[in-house]
Structure 1
Amino acid sequence: MKIIYIIYQICIGLPVFLAATIITALTTMLGCWLGNGHFWGYYPGKLWSQLTCYLFLLPVKVKGHELLDQKTSYVFVANHQGAFDIFLIYGFLGRNFKWMMKKSLREIPFVGKACESAGFIFVDKTSPRKIYKTIKEAENVLQGGTSLVVFPEGARTYTGQMNAFKKGAFFIADQLQMPVVPLTINGSFKVLPRTGKILSWHPLSLTIHTPIYPLGKKGEENLQMLMTESYKEIEKDLQR
């Protein structure tokens, strides 16, 4: 069965995925250019992500949608197991959001320009002024139920276990006094780890945890609380 799955993904899955990626990127860019970036910056990518999981025959299970208020903006933070984390969150979180991502991802053909058109936030850490600009961009985005999604580890894990969190997402949540929602991803490391080249079939799951609200004041105490509690929530549901 493994050989059949490899043949399927090479002969059918990959060509369809590449075509869908280009079509999605062009649709996003055109739609955002014409107007209503709130719609076109989210829904084409959502459908593309769902199609990708279905195309590669990966079962998806999500729990915790009922914990979220549709009118509240959140900072979502998730563990980063592999490339399919993106498709799992984008396709199945069920919330209109913007990604916060590395500046270097802007250079990916088609995808980078589509992300820019969609209003995703590219992080530039080269100076305090540019970090402040990132916070202001996030403040403009996080309104009316639109949320932000961040991988606080900063990069995909090599081992499947969680690495230490960086402060960026929690600093934004602290400065804007916004609730943080931890997300636990399981299965993505089995499908395509950071060092992998070929997909392996494995179910994917996304667990949405209870929002963690700020202490009511800005500062290091609130930031550390958000970061520590988020890490604990994500880790406790990780499959070993």
Structure 2
Amino acid sequence: MKRLLYLIYFWLIAMPVFVVCTIILALITYLGCPLSKSNWFCFYPGMIWSRIAIWLSFCSIKVEGWENLDAKAGPYVVVANHQGAFDIFMMYGYLGIPFKWVLKEGIRKIPFVGAACRAAGFIFVDDTKPSSIGKTMKSAHEVLASNTSIFIFPEGSRSSDGQMARFKKGGFIMASELGVPIVPIAIDGSFDVLKRGSLTVTPRRLRMTILPTMHIEDFGEPPMNIQLAAREAQRRIAFAIPSERKFKEA
């Protein structure tokens, strides 16, 4: 009965409210970013949007490790495991520092959201076109050079079974080329909230752990330091997740 009542609430109340908030906050971002030189319009409407999403879903969230993140010491390349769709709301709503997302090209096509992401200067990558990698790296360098952090899911897509896939090297290459610190984030609980391919939300306790900063120069010389840093970031994230969903050793 509780599940039935929740589904009625979700589709008749939560979802309509979320859609309206998405449109309003996307328009604020789209119109505000070109008018302001600060990151306010590029970040804070999205932060509010994300907190509304978690509040409407009745999920609770716990954030640990604030002491490991000094907002004034950035920019950073922030990396996290990708359990589910709610990872976006967790990161955007609760990390606490402005950043630019590295997003899949398909996000551009989402009504209102895609336009807001473009206006905010987020970075798009097209996995189907190897030629787009260079453009993505150039955009990332420009963002980091402007003292703004970057966030990326190194797995590339959210998990289908709750296990981490091997981290890709793109974000770590960015960190290596500009000498930017890496902040690993461990996300747990979101896999069961909205599983890949599902349209229904299940309230869960969410947990986000900000891990100690990594410096890629501590892992030797390029290009080996990139691979070693990627493996170490993934190892630390896996160790911080209390559930049984660890990364694949394939």
Please state whether the residue corresponding to 1:41 is helix, strand or coil: helix
Rate the CA distance shift 1:114–1:37 in 2: closer, same or farther, 3 A. Answer: farther
Q: Distance in 1 between matches of 2:5 and 2:130?
A: 50
Q: Distance in 1 between matches of 2:193 and 2:130?
A: 37
Q: Distance in 2 between matches of 1:151 and 1:184?
A: 11
- AA aligned to 2:113 is V
Q: Distance in 1 between matches of 2:202 and 2:10?
A: 10
Q: Distance in 1 between matches of 2:179 and 2:134?
A: 16
Residue 106 in structure 1 maps to residue 140 in structure 2: no
The structure 2 residue matched to 1:172, chosen from 162, 174, 178, is: 174
Residue 52 in structure 1 maps to residue 22 in structure 2: no
- AA aligned to 2:45 is P
How far off its partner does 1:144 sit? 5.9
Q: What is the TM-score with the length of structure 1 in the denominator?
A: 0.95
Q: Distance in 2 between matches of 1:83 and 1:195?
A: 10
Please state whether the residue corresponding to 2:156 is helix, strand or coil: coil
Q: Distance in 2 between matches of 1:176 and 1:143?
A: 8
CA contact (8 A) 2:100 2:123 kept: yes
Give the equivalent residue in structure 2 for 1:35. Answer: 36
Q: Distance in 2 between matches of 1:97 and 1:108?
A: 20
Structure 1: give runs of 5+ residues left out of the alignment: none
Equivalenced residues, count: 239
When structure 1 is superposed on structure 2, of 11-20 and 116-125 the one drifting more is 116-125
CA contact (8 A) 1:175 1:218 kept: no
How far off its partner does 1:63 sit? 0.7
Give the equivalent residue in structure 1 for 2:63. Answer: 62
Residue 237 in structure 1 maps to residue 237 in structure 2: no
Q: Distance in 1 between matches of 2:206 and 2:183?
A: 19
Give the equivalent residue in structure 1 for 2:200. Answer: 198
Q: Distance in 1 between matches of 2:12 and 2:36?
A: 37
CA contact (8 A) 1:74 1:146 kept: yes
Q: Distance in 2 between matches of 1:104 and 1:59?
A: 29
Q: Distance in 2 between matches of 1:211 and 1:162?
A: 20
Overall identity of the aligned pairs, in %? 45
Structure 2: give runs of 5+ residues left out of the alignment: 245-250
How far off its partner does 1:132 sit? 2.3
How far off its partner does 1:218 sit? 5.3
Equivalences for 1:1-240 in 2 at 5 Å?
1-36=2-37, 38-71=39-72, 72-125=74-127, 126-128=129-131, 130-143=132-145, 145-215=147-217, 219-238=222-241, 239-240=243-244
Q: Distance in 1 between matches of 2:233 and 2:24?
A: 36
Q: What is the TM-score with the length of structure 2 in the denominator?
A: 0.91
Q: Distance in 2 between matches of 1:148 and 1:110?
A: 22
Which string of whole-angstrom CA distances, capped at 9 and with x for unpartnered residues, describes residues 89-146 of structure 1? 0000001000001112111111011000001001135244x32222221122124652
CA contact (8 A) 1:73 1:142 kept: yes
Q: Distance in 1 between matches of 2:235 and 2:41?
A: 35
Please state whether the residue corresponding to 1:61 is helix, strand or coil: strand
Please state whether the residue corresponding to 1:160 is helix, strand or coil: coil
Superposition RMSD on alpha carbons, in Å? 1.5
